[in-house]
Amino acid sequence: MIDNERILALCELSNDLLFGKIPEDKISYYIDSSLAAGRAAAKEYAGMDIKELYHSNNIQIEYQKEHKGSFGVMLRGQAVMGKDETKVELYSSSIESLANNSYIYGSAPISYDLALNIHLAHEFFHFLEYKSINFVSDQLDTVVIMKIFALQRRAHIKRCSEIAAHGFAKELLQLQYLPNLYDYAYLINTGKMTDTDLTDMMSRMESILG
């Protein structure tokens, strides 16, 4: 059974377009720093209801019955953050599908309400980043993406903010796993990924972490 959030965090990090530019000895830095940022932010809201946090911060929640898909990927929601309005649009059917297909390693599926709260918590963390103009990915070291003689071009690792958002949701909602595990469960249970695919990926990530 997967119980190592660092491995799941690395799975997320490996999706970054610049993952191949990260020096091997810096991978743990990005994972641990991102998770720590998410946990630290969540501790400030310990015991608070996520929907109440939306209400107190004037964030609108709009529910849509139909999900939007792109290239076979289910979109569960999207956030709109601006000077005049902050809202999160949620696609109920997509969240319900995630909940129904979240069982993995013999565990029961999570409830619709928990799947909903996970998404709300994830987006609330991004709201905190936006509100403070202090994105986790921008706080961490850049990587060299191009080098010509003495000149270097550097960039931030954007997936660090996603890892932090996962860590925030896990801490706030007191989840057993980093919530991207449920995304992999969904992919397996809907035939888009196999158990072997997940096992192989986790093994690769574990070997990278040493």
Whole-prediction pTM value?
0.92
**CA-closest candidate to residue 9, choices 178, 151, 176, 124:** 178
Report helix, strand and coil shares of the chain as percent, to nearest 5. Answer: 55, 15, 30
Residue 81: Cβ-neighbour burial (10 angstroms; 0-12, 13-18, 19+):
middle
pLDDT tens digits, 10-66: 999 999 999 999 999 999 999 999 999 999 999 999 999 999 999 999 999 999 876
**Both tokens of residue 63?**
């529910």
